[in-house]
């Protein structure tokens, strides 16, 4: 099953040049449809903007779901990729967009190969989602998909890496209410919301809590001028864990700390938390692991089963009842201006994907 490396890299370069920050994925969606148009597959765009393509099998077998997301993080507009030998980068002013356009390019190449070579394959569902990078929003509309197994091409690491465990993710917001006053004339009449927020943040358990659990404060907004005691500050953060009890305990501890510390200076707080996605653990799914083992052997890559601290569309597919793993697509240093990808890794990732299809 030879991979057309020139076609693969050209597709990837085409994709990263298409602006598709979260919420603006229409250009990528149109490109995918154009690339698959010669095969006349059944396609559907759902109300959320996700693209679903169904491919009839040429042999009997379990239905296989293949997925990648179409959006990128910021700054992702005006990407100008640079190819230096085997390595592809941006020009340093934007991300590259390998997350997740490498996965899209590899799926497209894989589909072209199975059609060109008449490779026998089971029924396939391709799901290209929107708004993955802003809290896996798009995939939530795909609960009606029905497949036996799934693979999301959306992680870094050596080719052959298969993510079988991912955490639950809780997002929290604390809105601290103080009292405004003139900072130069009557500061004693104010209650500084920034001070209240600072006391709470300083007391929070942050970073790596244990080998299953982490938390972070990532956004602080508040204040209007240096000569006004700030009356309101908003703090946003998150907590993640592979253990539901630990996550519940941690979020409640964070909530209690905010109330205790904020009220200690006379301010008040409104604390809310929202579940972004639920954990999954398919490390005990021997059918899926055996499939990956055979595919790795067929392509002569090491099989690297691992747990991750990140989330992906696979979290929701697993909740929907489709055992779904995440496999490496070759991307590196994602979400940074130093992002890179090697063409040779994209070729290996496509070969691994084809081996999975062949072994199902």
Q: For residue 181, what are the contacts with CB-CB under 8 A and spacing of at least 6?
A: 187, 188, 189, 190, 228, 229
- DSSP states along 140-158: GGGTT---SEEEEEEE-SS
Active-site residue flag, 132: yes
Q: How many CA atoms lie within 13 A of 262 on its CB side?
A: 27
For residue 286, what are the contacts with CB-CB under 8 A and spacing of at least 6?
A: none
β-bridge pairing 87-89 and 268-277: unpaired
Determine contact, residues 192/178, Cβ cutoff 8 Å: yes
Task: Give just the sign of the alpha carbon dihedral 297, 302, 308, 312.
Answer: negative
Q: What's the length of the chain? A: 360
C-alpha distances (whole Å) from 12 to each of 8, 32, 82, 336, 350 are: 6, 11, 12, 18, 12
C-alpha span between 273 and 208 (Å, rounded): 20
Task: Give catalytic status of residue 71 as yes or no.
Answer: yes
104 neighbors 70 (Cβ within 8 angstroms): yes
Q: Which of 71, 106, 238, 261 is catalytic?
A: 71
Active-site residue identified among 25, 99, 100, 132 = 132
Instruction: Give catalytic residues, as residue numbers.
Output: 71, 132
């Amino acid at each position: 099953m030879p991979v057309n490396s020139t076609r693969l890299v050209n597709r990837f370069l085409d994709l990263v040049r298409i602006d598709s920050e979260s919420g603006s994925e229409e250009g990528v969606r149109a490109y995918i449809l154009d690339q698959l148009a010669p095969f006349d597959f059944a396609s559907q765009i759902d109300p959320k903007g996700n693209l679903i393509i169904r491919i009839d099998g040429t042999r009997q077998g379990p239905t296989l779901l293949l997925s990648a997301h179409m959006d990128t993080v910021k700054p992702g507009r005006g990407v100008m990729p640079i190819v230096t030998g085997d390595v592809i980068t941006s020009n340093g002013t934007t991300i590259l967009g390998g997350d997740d356009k490498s996965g899209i390019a590899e799926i497209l190449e894989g589909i072209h190969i199975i059609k060109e070579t008449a490779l026998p394959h089971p029924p396939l569902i391709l799901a290209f989602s929107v708004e993955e990078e802003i809290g896996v929003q798009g995939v939530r509309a795909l609960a009606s998909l029905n497949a036996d197994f799934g693979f999301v091409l959306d992680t870094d690491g050596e080719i052959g890496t298969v993510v079988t465990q991912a955490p639950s993710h809780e997002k929290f917001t604390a809105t601290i209410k103080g009292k405004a006053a003139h900072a130069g004339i009557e500061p004693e009449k104010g209650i500084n919301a920034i001070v209240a927020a600072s006391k709470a943040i300083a007391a929070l358990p942050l970073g790596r809590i244990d080998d299953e659990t982490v938390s972070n404060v990532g956004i602080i907004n508040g204040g209007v001028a240096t000569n006004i005691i700030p009356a309101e500050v908003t703090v946003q953060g998150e907590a993640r864990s592979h253990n539901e009890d630990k996550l519940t305990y941690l979020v409640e501890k964070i909530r209690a700390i905010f109330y205790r510390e904020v009220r200690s200076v006379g301010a008040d707080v409104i604390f809310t938390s929202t579940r972004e996605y639920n954990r999954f653990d398919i490390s005990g799914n021997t059918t899926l692991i055996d499939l990956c083992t055979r595919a790795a052997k067929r392509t002569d890559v090491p099989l690297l089963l691992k747990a991750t601290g990140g989330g992906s569309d696979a979290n929701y597919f697993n909740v929907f009842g489709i055992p779904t793993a995440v496999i490496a697509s070759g991307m590196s240093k994602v979400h940074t201006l130093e992002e890179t990808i090697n063409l040779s890794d994209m070729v290996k990732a496509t070969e691994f994907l084809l081996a999975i299809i062949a072994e199902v």
